[in-house]
Chain A
């Protein structure tokens, strides 16, 4: 019991630390928030832009397109926020020069990841909520007929699989002190391309559509759109929910195992000592 309490304390340590870092770096957080809002709005305005460009005869439903894109930007904002906070679990430490101190502490890596992940989820939800609030005001979004519960369920289920992927990718800064952080951007960029964030997956070339099947974001985006745009019931979202749950159940322990192996490799080869 004492050991469990210690581990929970340790997990909370990461959450508290990250919260303090966000407070101290508040100007950067503000810049990132403004950028994210501007980015979301810019993409969402494409919907109205398409309607305008196509002309009234083309019968393009700009409002539908806007909502389609709003969902894309917000879901992606949330998932990518989780991805970055988790994959930076090592990068932060390397940047600050604290990697050896943290990895010497008597905590299980799952506890370390749990703390980082919980913070990522809470931060992601809050951050996305602010962007959503601004978006709703600007576009006068009507969600009266949307299945908000189903959309939320879809989002949370998808979080698990993204967490698993993020944990696996977080080994890159561990294995490659100089370039590992940059390498994680390649992974998120590919996921952005293939997951149907701003367009249906069907418009992609065949080989990219095949890749879309392994991205959990594909199912999350499709599921949330069904819930919010078509008012699909939560039970009918099950074909989208079970793949991401399965991916999460597999990816999280796999990610932890991979991280453990990477950490052992880093300790064998002396890569911990080199700061980024």
Chain B
């Protein structure tokens, strides 16, 4: 029986099985990853001088976006990272995607260090971000052929696949050749997923892929994610602040708050950490509230860096 360890003084809840121990089939190993932004405010007269020159409120202190985070993800797993805005989810994804250099700790993807072997990592991963990043005046076909070529896939090979994938995702034939800025956000996000699929990544990083989508588009994207894992065996890291999404899609979920992982387990075991309210089964939001004293969906001032 897994035992949840709850340290009420620092709100840490990680079951014994999920404390990071490396296994041979770990696709991702994050060990004490640290990421900070900004310069520390100097002490003493230097700090006071800076405050006087720039104004007290203009002095930015150092922000720790990812604070000694450790976890591992097995191959073929859908691993969720749940947390409010500003919790460090996107920063964590960017560290995995070689878009940020960690200030401490190490991150390995399929045996390659993200700092020492970035190109090897880049060949194995792909990422779908919350903003569908495209050349807006180019068509889905033009964007995807460009994206595929970056991963060494020829244009002729890509053109056939693009049509198949996009039709499967619900796009009309004519949409494939019209500029991206004529498409809805939901459609754009599907094209973003198609682009990620073309390179057949072994690790797929999905950074809030359904944020801002209507319910139907959200369900369609979630279905694609499930299909990816089941058919291709891809390892997927999914960041979200949609609790239902994390609950239904993810095998395990890490809850992040202020840069730290405050809980990590299967959704069922996480929900067991929170008490039932008015007879209703606890949600992951209840778990977050129990661990941090705050709501998961409260307004956040800080955005992920």
Residues of A within 8 A of B (CB): 5-6, 9-10, 12-13, 16-17, 20-21, 24-25, 96-98, 100-108, 264, 267-270, 272-273
Contacts of A267 in B (CB 8 A): 98-101
Which of B15-23, B132-140, B282-290 contacts its partner?
A: B132-140
By secondary structure, the B interface counts as loop
Which of B74-82, B148-156, B162-170 contacts its partner?
A: B148-156
Q: Please, how many angstroms separate the alpha-carbon atoms of A267 and B114 in the complex?
A: 12
Q: Are A106 and B142 interface neighbours, CB within 8 A? A: no
Q: Please, how many angstroms separate the alpha-carbon atoms of A96 and B146 in the complex?
A: 14
Is B206 an interface position by the 8 A CB rule?
Answer: no
Contact residues, B119-178 vs A (CB, 8 A) = 119, 122-123, 125, 127, 129, 131, 133-138, 142, 145-147, 149-155
Which residue, of A107, A108, A267, A270, has the highest number of chain B Cβ atoms within 10 A? A270
Contacts of B133 in A (CB 8 A): 96-98, 100-101
Q: Are A264 and B99 interface neighbours, CB within 8 A? A: no
Q: Are B100 and A106 interface neighbours, CB within 8 A? A: no
Q: How many residues of B contact A (CB 8 A)?
A: 35
Q: Are B149 and A106 interface neighbours, CB within 8 A? A: no
Is B226 an interface position by the 8 A CB rule?
Answer: no
Is B305 an interface position by the 8 A CB rule?
Answer: yes
Which one of B122, B129, B136 lies within 8 Å of A96 (CB-CB)? B136
Q: Are A104 and B127 interface neighbours, CB within 8 A? A: yes
By secondary structure, the A interface counts as helix
Q: Please, how many angstroms separate the alpha-carbon atoms of A75 and B13 in the complex?
A: 67
- Per-residue interface assignment for chain B, residues 91 to 129, with 1 indicating a CB less than 8 Å from any chain A CB and 0 otherwise: 100100111110100000000000000010011010101
Q: Can you pick out 30 interface pairs between chain A and chain B where the beta carbons lie within 8 Å of each other? A: A9-B149, A10-B149, A10-B150, A12-B149, A13-B149, A13-B150, A16-B146, A17-B146, A20-B135, A20-B142, A21-B137, A96-B134, A96-B135, A96-B136, A98-B134, A100-B99, A100-B127, A101-B129, A101-B133, A104-B98, A104-B125, A105-B151, A106-B152, A267-B99, A267-B100, A270-B305, A272-B99, A273-B94, A273-B99, A273-B305
Q: Are B154 and A9 interface neighbours, CB within 8 A? A: yes
Given the known inter-chain contacts A9-B149, A104-B127, A267-B100, please indicate yes or no for A17 contacting B142, CB distance below 8 A: yes
Q: Please, how many angstroms separate the alpha-carbon atoms of A268 and B99 in the complex?
A: 9
Task: Give chain B nearest CB distance to A256 CB in angstroms.
Answer: 15
Which residue, of A12, A13, A21, A103, has the highest number of chain B Cβ atoms within 10 A? A13
Q: Are B150 and A268 interface neighbours, CB within 8 A? A: no
Task: Give chain B nearest CB distance to A194 CB in angstroms.
Answer: 36
Q: Are A270 and B37 interface neighbours, CB within 8 A? A: yes
Q: Are B154 and A104 interface neighbours, CB within 8 A? A: no
A101-B127, A104-B125, A105-B147 are known contacts; what are 9 more A-B pairs with Cβ within 8 Å? A21-B135, A24-B137, A25-B137, A97-B133, A100-B94, A104-B99, A267-B101, A270-B91, A270-B305
